[in-house]
Every structure is written in structure tokens, then in C-alpha cells.
């Protein structure tokens, strides 16, 4: 349209020149040609600048939220800017050689995690390969479950169809494959989507105290539909080795324990199956009661949304929580609906960007638990402030462990009470002596000296 306007302007300019007082015909013709050439050139320049490819590779893929909370989409997905650029991820390939990763290396050896990614042929290049280039490379074993072969990832080609209606079948087939081929190769088995981002080191830290022979699974726990709660599929859920065995050997073969047919919400159904074979739905919160695995991108949890108090998440989430900076653990594990671009951003912010002059003290590894043992839940104490609250009226109780300080020692408290009582008695005695006009009256200096001696 801009080109048409400019051409029209050029034509009018040419006509106006011809309409002037009679001059040389050659001069008028030259002016007309110059105007046309100038107009055409400007039109080409504006057309070139307005081309989407010149604006940049980041084109937002618009999506609309679905009423079904298990199929919610938020407009954070971006088209992959690296589709045909193998060198685009070079910046996130390298690791910092000067970093001390001895503790992370220890956990890599002792807490072996197999990660399998739910994907489909459409997303192999759009999403799945970016998981492989970022957080997926930190798993002990990385598998991509799809209905089509792909040598680049590579994929495990499952005998299933695609679409939500086949999700439950696909999850069962994927875990069957993992059980058959990798049961003894890992201690824990993580299922994640191709738009999930996971900090694998933090997951190893959370899982470290637990025995893989304890029947347990962890994730972002939701409370409806399943008595003990079930784990959100998008945030990812991780099964212990014993939980995997019970799911494959005991639950799936028994239609009374696990539905064999089509189930749309696979995360609810696997929660039911695991509950039916006595696999505990674990608590992923940290010692301060903050969540570690999340069903949305960080922005959704960190930026308060006071006007959206009826959002389904607040009704589903198992443990009382908050948004703002109180939402998330310093050792958070996973987020969902993460676009390919955001995966690279998170990888950079977590593994490369560091504030100069600040060194974080590593948390000590917790004691190992016996088979069947679990860490105690966070201690519930009132929140210290209302800062970063979603809503002051709706602030939840924070779970903060309260250390016993030296001033809180019961013996010291008793001594302080006794001293306060003696001081009160001394003051009353002084008043009594003054009333009886006794000669033996304590001066203020005497009282102060007595108090100091008692201290």
C-alpha cells in the first residue's frame, strides 16, 4: 500500500510539472522521469524495511487459553529462530571450565536420572531438539518418545497415534519401553514435555536422600480427582525405580487398578494407578514451604496476578502457596510452556550469568533415608511480612523452620524472668521504706549497682 501511495504521489508530481507554463518539452519530460524513478525507489526502500524477515526472527505464535486446565496454553511460545542455523546454539554449548562442579558431578554419579520427553513429529525440530541442546544434555539418559523415527534426536518410535486422545496410551508405552530397556540403568525416571525446562542438578539434590527402592513419585501436586493428589503432566513427574516397577508389573496389567482404554488426562490417570499400587505422591516443597516444580513459565508465578483469583491453578494446587518472590524455591526444578527461545535464555541465566563478587554457599547434602522413609514436611509458622503478596487478605501461612537461638534457651529465659521479678520486689521495698520514714533508704545509685551485680 505504501508503494501505491508513493507511485501516485510521483505521478501527481509529474503531472504538475507538465501543467506549468509552457517551457521546454524536454525539461518537462526529464522532470517526470526523475519523479517516477524517485517514487519507485522510495517505495522499494519502504517495502524492504517493512518485510517481516527484516524485523527479526522472533514472531509470536498466538494461542488462546482453553477452558480445560489440562490443555491450557499461554502466549509464550515463539517460532524457532534457529530452524536452519546449527551454529545458533554455540553460545549455550560450552560450560564454564573454572566452575567447581565436583558436588554436581558426585550427584550425577549417585542420583542417576533417565529423562524421557513426550514429543511428536511436528515438534521434533520446533521444540524437542532445543531440549536436547539445553537442559536435556544434563540427564544421565535422554530419550525422545514419538510416533515417528528421527535420527537427529534420536527418537524411540512407539506404536501409538498422536493427539491428546492417545496420550494415556503413549505414556504407558513409553514407560514400558523404559522398564524393558533401562530399568537398571537409572535410579529415577522423569517424564517431561517438549516445552518443559528442568534444572536437573536441583532435581538430583531433591531426590538425593530418598532410596530409589522407596515407592514414590514427585512433581507439582494437584489435589482434585485423586485422594493423595496427582502430579501435573506439564511440570514433569519423576518415578523411583520401585514406583516404575509397580506401575508396569502390577498396575497396568490389572484393569481394576489402571484403566486400559482411552483417557484424555494422562496425568490424572497415572496418579490413580500409582495410588492403587501404594506409590506415595511425594512433597517437592523446600524447607521453607516453597514450590520447586511448576506448571507455567516463571513469569506467571513470579508476577502477582491479583485480578485473577478465580484462576483454576489456585483451586488445583495441593499445598497453599503464593505468587511473587515467595512462590518459588531458590532450588526450583521445572517450569512448563517454555518456548525454545526461553530455554536458551534460562540456560544462560542459570549456568552462565553470575554476579561478580558474590559466591553462594552450597547447601549441605541431607542424610540418606531408609527405604520407605520420607523427609518431614515444612514447619508452619506465620509469614514474616506481606511483601510480594498476591493479596494481603489471602496471604497464606508460610512454612519456615524456626531455629532455636541462644536467647531462646529455656534456662536463660527463666533467669531473665527471675531477675525482672527481683527488680520489681526491690522497687516495692524501696517505696515501702520511704513510706515508713526509715533511715535506711536505698538511693537510685544503690539500686543501679544492685541491678548491675545481678546482671
Could you tell me if residue 231 is inside a domain? Answer: yes
Could you tell me if residue 288 is inside a domain? Answer: yes
Could you tell me if residue 64 is inside a domain? Answer: no
Cell numbers representing residue 110 in the block: 549417585
Do residue 221 and residue 247 come from a single domain?
Answer: yes
Could you tell me if residue 398 is inside a domain? Answer: no
Beta-strand ranges (E) seen in 2-107 are none
Do residue 373 and residue 448 come from a single domain?
Answer: no
Could you tell me if residue 390 is inside a domain? Answer: no
Do residue 153 and residue 126 come from a single domain?
Answer: yes
Q: Which of 346, 381, 416 is the last residue of a domain?
A: 381
- Range 94-108 average pLDDT: 81
Do residue 339 and residue 373 come from a single domain?
Answer: yes
The label of the residue with cell 514414590 reads 216
If pLDDT is split at 50, 70 and 90, which confidence band does 392 have?
very low
> Cis peptide before 260, with omega less than 30 degrees from 0?
no
- Range 185-214 average pLDDT: 98
Cell numbers representing residue 303 in the block: 508476577
Do residue 213 and residue 354 come from a single domain?
Answer: yes
Q: Of 114, 118, 121, whose CA–CA distance to 196 is shortest? A: 118
Residue 231, φ and ψ in degrees, nearest 5: -100, 135
Q: Of 88, 109, 127, whose CA–CA distance to 343 is shortest? A: 127
CB-based burial label for 439 (10 Å; 0-12, 13-18, 19+): exposed
Alpha-carbon distance of 221 to 225, in angstroms, equals: 12
Put simply, whether the predicted model's pTM sits higher than 0.95 gets the answer no
Q: How far apart are the first and last CA of the chain?
A: 89
Q: At residue 148, does pLDDT exceed 70?
A: yes
Alpha-carbon distance of 452 to 430, in angstroms, equals: 17
How is 387-408 classified by DSSP, letter by letter?
A: TT-S-GGGPPPB-------GGG
Do residue 177 and residue 240 come from a single domain?
Answer: yes
* Contact (Cβ atoms closer than 8 angstroms) between residue 199 and residue 187: no
SS3 47: helix
The residue segments making up the domain with residue 170 are 69-381
Do residue 14 and residue 127 come from a single domain?
Answer: no
Residue 382 vs residue 354, higher pLDDT: 354
The label of the residue with cell 514436611 reads 377
Could you tell me if residue 399 is inside a domain? Answer: no
User: pLDDT at position 23, please?
Assistant: 52
Pairing of strands 280-281, 216-219: parallel
If pLDDT is split at 50, 70 and 90, which confidence band does 413 have?
low
Do residue 321 and residue 185 come from a single domain?
Answer: yes
Tens digits of per-residue pLDDT, 152-176? 999 999 999 988 889 999 999 999 9
Alpha-carbon distance of 351 to 332, in angstroms, equals: 14
Q: Of 45-49, 240-244, 431-435, where does the model show the most confidence?
A: 240-244
Percent of the chain with pLDDT over 90: 48
User: pLDDT at position 220, please?
Assistant: 95
If pLDDT is split at 50, 70 and 90, which confidence band does 315 have?
confident
* Contact (Cβ atoms closer than 8 angstroms) between residue 185 and residue 112: yes
Q: At residue 89, does pLDDT exceed 80?
A: no
Residue 391: CB atoms within 10 A of its CB come to 14
Do residue 84 and residue 7 come from a single domain?
Answer: no
* Contact (Cβ atoms closer than 8 angstroms) between residue 106 and residue 177: no
Q: Which residues contact 301 (CB under 8 A, 6 or more apart)?
A: 291, 294, 323, 327, 328
If pLDDT is split at 50, 70 and 90, which confidence band does 401 have?
very low
- Range 67-92 average pLDDT: 45
Residue 137: CB atoms within 10 A of its CB come to 15
* Contact (Cβ atoms closer than 8 angstroms) between residue 73 and residue 63: yes
- Range 203-218 average pLDDT: 98
- Range 122-134 average pLDDT: 97
Residue 8 vs residue 325, higher pLDDT: 325
Residue 130: CB atoms within 10 A of its CB come to 28
Do residue 158 and residue 232 come from a single domain?
Answer: yes
User: pLDDT at position 96, please?
Assistant: 63
Residue 452: CB atoms within 10 A of its CB come to 8
- Range 192-198 average pLDDT: 97
Do residue 32 and residue 87 come from a single domain?
Answer: no
CB-based burial label for 267 (10 Å; 0-12, 13-18, 19+): buried
User: pLDDT at position 419, please?
Assistant: 66
Alpha-carbon distance of 135 to 202, in angstroms, equals: 12
Q: At residue 79, does pLDDT exceed 90?
A: no
As a whole number, the mean pLDDT across the chain is 76
Could you tell me if residue 62 is inside a domain? Answer: no
Do residue 349 and residue 426 come from a single domain?
Answer: no
Could you tell me if residue 386 is inside a domain? Answer: no
Alpha-carbon distance of 188 to 212, in angstroms, equals: 7
SS3 240: strand
Q: At residue 90, does pLDDT exceed 80?
A: no
> Where residue 278 sits, what CATH number does that domain have?
3.90.550
- Structural domain count of the chain: 3
If pLDDT is split at 50, 70 and 90, which confidence band does 408 have?
very low
User: pLDDT at position 70, please?
Assistant: 46
Amino acid at each position: 500500500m505504501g508503494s501505491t501511495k508513493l507511485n501516485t504521489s510521483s505521478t501527481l508530481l509529474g503531472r504538475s510539472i507538465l501543467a506549468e507554463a509552457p517551457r521546454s518539452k524536454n525539461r518537462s519530460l526529464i522532470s517526470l522521469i526523475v519523479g517516477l524513478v524517485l517514487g519507485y525507489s522510495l517505495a522499494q526502500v519502504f517495502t524492504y524495511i517493512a518485510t517481516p524477515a527484516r524485523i527479526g526472527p522472533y514472531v509470536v505464535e498466538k494461542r488462546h487459553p482453553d477452558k480445560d486446565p489440562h490443555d491450557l496454553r499461554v502466549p509464550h511460545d515463539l517460532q524457532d529462530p534457529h530452524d536452519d542455523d546449527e551454529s545458533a546454539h554455540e553460545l549455550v554449548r560450552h560450560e564454564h571450565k573454572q566452575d567447581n562442579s565436583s558436588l554436581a558431578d558426585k550427584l550425577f554419579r549417585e542420583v542417576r536420572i533417565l529423562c524421557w520427553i513426550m514429543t511428536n513429529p511436528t515438534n521434533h525440530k520446533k521444540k524437542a531438539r532445543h531440549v536436547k541442546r539445553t537442559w536435556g544434555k544434563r540427564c544421565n539418559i535422554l530419550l525422545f518418545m514419538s510416533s515417528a523415527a528421527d535420527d537427529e534426536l534420536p527418537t524411540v518410535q512407539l506404536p501409538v497415534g498422536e493427539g491428546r486422545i492417545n496420550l494415556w496410551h503413549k505414556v504407558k508405552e513409553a514407560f514400558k519401553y523404559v522398564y524393558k530397556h533401562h530399568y537398571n540403568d537409572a535410579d529415577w525416571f522423569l517424564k517431561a514435555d517438549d516445552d518443559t525446562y528442568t534444572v536437573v542438578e536441583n532435581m538430583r539434590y531433591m531426590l538425593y536422600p530418598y532410596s530409589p527402592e522407596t515407592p514414590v513419585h514427585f512433581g507439582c501436586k494437584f489435589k482434585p480427582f485423586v485422594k493423595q493428589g496427582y502430579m501435573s503432566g506439564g511440570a514433569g513427574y519423576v518415578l523411583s525405580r520401585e514406583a516404575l516397577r509397580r506401575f508396569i508389573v502390577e498396575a497396568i496389567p490389572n484393569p481394576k487398578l489402571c484403566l486400559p482404554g482411552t483417557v484424555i488426562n494422562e496425568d490424572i490417570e497415572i496418579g490413580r494407578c500409582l495410588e492403587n499400587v501404594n506409590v506415595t505422591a511425594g512433597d517437592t516443597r523446600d524447607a521453607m514451604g516453597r514450590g520447586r516444580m511448576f506448571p507455567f513459565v516463571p513469569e506467571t508465578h513470579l508476577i502477582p496476578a491479583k485480578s485473577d483469583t478465580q484462576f483454576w491453578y489456585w483451586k488445583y494446587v495441593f499445598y497453599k502457596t503464593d505468587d511473587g518472590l515467595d512462590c518459588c524455591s531458590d532450588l526450583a526444578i521445572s517450569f512448563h510452556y517454555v518456548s525454545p527461545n526461553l530455554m536458551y535464555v534460562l540456560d544462560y541465566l542459570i549456568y552462565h550469568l553470575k554476579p561478580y563478587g558474590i559466591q553462594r554457599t552450597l547447601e549441605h547434602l541431607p542424610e540418606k533415608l531408609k527405604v520407605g522413609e520420607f523427609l518431614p514436611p515444612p514447619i508452619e509458622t506465620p509469614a514474616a511480612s506481606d511483601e510480594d503478596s498476591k493479596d494481603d487478605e489471602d496471604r497464606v501461612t508460610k512454612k519456615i523452620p524456626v531455629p532455636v537461638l541462644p536467647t531462646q534457651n529455656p534456662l536463660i529465659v527463666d533467669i531473665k524472668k527471675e531477675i525482672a521479678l527481683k527488680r520489681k520486689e526491690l522497687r516495692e521495698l524501696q517505696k515501702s521504706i520511704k513510706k515508713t520514714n526509715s533511715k535506711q533508704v536505698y538511693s537510685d545509685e544503690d539500686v543501679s549497682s544492685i541491678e548491675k551485680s545481678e546482671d
